[in-house]
Amino acid sequence: MEAKKIRNIFTAGPVEAAFIADSIAKHSTKTSIGGHSIFLGQVRADLMDGKQVEAIEYTSHVDMALEVMATIREDIFTRYALTCMHVHHSLGVVKAGEICLFVFTSSKHRKVAIDACSECVERIKAELPVWGKEIFEGEGYQWKINQ
Amino acid sequence: MEAKKIRNIFTAGPVEAAFIADSIAKHSTKTSIGGHSIFLGQVRADLMDGKQVEAIEYTSHVDMALEVMATIREDIFTRYALTCMHVHHSLGVVKAGEICLFVFTSSKHRKVAIDACSECVERIKAELPVWGKEIFEGEGYQWKINQ
Amino acid sequence: MIEVMFFGQLTDATGVSSVMVEEVGNTDMLIQMMKQRYPALESSTYMIAINNAMVTENSIVTPGSKVAFMPPFSGG
Amino acid sequence: MIEVMFFGQLTDATGVSSVMVEEVGNTDMLIQMMKQRYPALESSTYMIAINNAMVTENSIVTPGSKVAFMPPFSGG
């Protein structure tokens, strides 16, 4: 059995729009692609008991997360005819309104790209050892709970 | 009954990555958004009987397309709790590897954004009076058929 | 007058993207008229819209209308 | 030696993100040891991974292992 290739998915702070644009532009040479599906997670300024979320600070069990992501990746590539898939998740502080997750799938056909992207997002939320600490404006925090 | 608001969705030539980035960045002030879903259609360099598609030239029954899009938009906003939705479709020549369709939905919750985006793409393909003429390298063309 | 518009591959059949016609009673009559003028339409697939609204049955065409002959859509 | 790591809200319970312990036979014994050291763990929810692999039953902990105590994930 070939060892899974471990790729970094973590980025310090928010994922910038310019980075996303660059990532999209790089695919213009791959002319077998017919559709791209992108999911972006954005930090919400939720109100909890009168306190507003100002930022989320992300931490991870990084080694393990990268191994889990490699497994998810391999599994998705086995089941979907993707041309490529890119995942970027923030670590550290991401302010409300900023992007904390960028999942990008491309395929010859749109439905494959869309379904693979959606499944990848769900699995990232459920399976990656990553934690979000919701930091309130002023002071205080609470630990994020995924739905 | 209030008249539907007609918005332009057409852009001359390809949708540029920088435009997409700008569109994403504009949403950072909308801090109730938790998830964005983006679909991008890209022109494929398909081979047909030994001829390669070099570009697609899009034409439309523009007035009607904008009315149909306003109806789709209204319907999707009725059924999904979206914060916003943006659609851009190319007219004229779009080369292989370039982006011809940009659909962008945002919501508090990811599933709403993803489902609305996916439905919007399907409806655009099925309901908008737009036609693609696949131009071959060298000479010749054929009219695109949507799956 | 009625403006009759052709789109997509239908322009290959007609050689024109739009044509003005005098009064015509309904869409069936208009279709017959267009087929006589552009015989290649006979073997074409199309839908009809009057003033941007699709019609699926024979419909009255009032003066000043815009009638679109549209092949299957292929946007995106 | 065994490295025991705590993540997310568990660091509020323990006050540390990692601690080294001498040999311990299995995960049940390690959990007991940690609860004695950090009583707030008693009311916490967590999963255990040994060397990046989740374990769901009592498992042997070999010397040199890294054991992670992880609360429910909340990435994305």
H-state helical runs in chain D: 10-14, 27-37
| Structure token pair of residue B71 | 């109806």
A39/B36 CB distance under 8 A: yes
Q: Output the tens digit of pLDDT for each of chain B's 147 residues.
A: 467 899 999 999 999 999 999 999 999 999 999 999 999 999 999 998 899 999 999 999 999 999 999 999 999 999 999 999 999 999 999 999 999 999 999 999 999 999 999 999 999 999 999 999 999 999 999 999 997
Evaluate the CA torsion angle D9, B112, A107, B55 in order and state its sign: negative
Would an 8 Å CB–CB cutoff place A147 in contact with chain D?
no
Q: Which residue of B has its CA nearest to C47?
A: B129
Looking at every residue in chain A, the average pLDDT score rounds to: 96
Angle at C37 between CA C31 and CA C38, to 5 degrees: 85
Whole-angstrom Cα distance, residue C54 to residue A76? 41
Chains within contact range of chain B (3+ C-beta pairs < 8 Å): A, C
Q: Which residues contact A40 (CB under 8 A, 6 or more apart)?
A: A15, A20, A99, A101, A102, B24, B35, B36, B37, B38
D73/A100 CB distance under 8 A: no
Looking at every residue in chain D, the average pLDDT score rounds to: 97
* Structure-model confidence comparison of residues B1 and A120, the more confident one: A120
Is the per-residue pLDDT at A147 higher than 90?
no
Q: Which CATH architecture has domain B10-143?
A: Alpha-Beta Complex (3.90)
pLDDT average, residue stretch D50-55: 97
A37/B36 CB distance under 8 A: no
DSSP tag of D41: G
| pLDDT digit string, tens, across residues A8-22 | 999 999 999 999 999
Tell me the CA distances in angstroms from D12 to A139, D6, D9, D16, one per residue in order: 16, 9, 5, 8
Quick one: pLDDT at residue B4? 82
DSSP per position, C23-62? --SBHHHHHHHHHHH-GGGGG---EEEETTEEE-S--B--
Is the per-residue pLDDT at C14 higher than 80?
yes
- Using a 10 angstrom Cβ sphere, with 0-12 exposed, 13-18 middle and 19 or more buried, the burial of residue A34 is buried
Q: Are strands A35-42 and A130-136 parallel, antiparallel or unpaired?
A: unpaired
Closest CA relative to residue A22, chosen from B22, B17, B96, B28:
B17
Tell me the CA distances in angstroms from B124 to A124, B15, B73, one per residue in order: 30, 16, 10
Crossing angle between the packed helical segments A17-25 and B17-25, to the nearest 10 degrees: 160
Q: Which residue of A has its CA nearest to D10?
A: A143
Report the share of chain A in percent with pLDDT over 90.
95
Q: With beta carbons under 8 A apart, name residues in chain A contacting D9.
A: 131, 143
D73/A129 CB distance under 8 A: yes
Residue B116's identity, in one-letter code, is A
Q: Which residue of A has its CA nearest to D5?
A: A61
Residue A113's identity, in one-letter code, is A
- The nearest CA of chain A is from the CA of D66 a distance in Å of 11
User: What phi and psi, each to the nearest 5 degrees, are found at residue D50?
Assistant: -110, 125
Report the share of chain A in percent with pLDDT over 70.
99
Closest CA relative to residue A131, chosen from A71, A72, A56:
A56
A127/D52 CB distance under 8 A: no
DSSP tag of B98: S
Is the per-residue pLDDT at A1 higher than 80?
no
Is the per-residue pLDDT at D60 higher than 70?
yes
Q: With beta carbons under 8 A apart, name residues in chain A contacting B34.
A: 41-42, 44
Whole-angstrom Cα distance, residue B91 to residue B131? 9
Whole-angstrom Cα distance, residue C74 to residue B62? 14
Quick one: pLDDT at residue A2? 59
Homologous superfamily of domain range C2-70:
Beta-grasp domain (3.10.20.30)
B45/A25 CB distance under 8 A: no
Quick one: pLDDT at residue B2? 60
What's the complex ipTM? 0.95
Quick one: pLDDT at residue A8? 98
What are the boundaries of each domain within chain D? Answer: 2-70
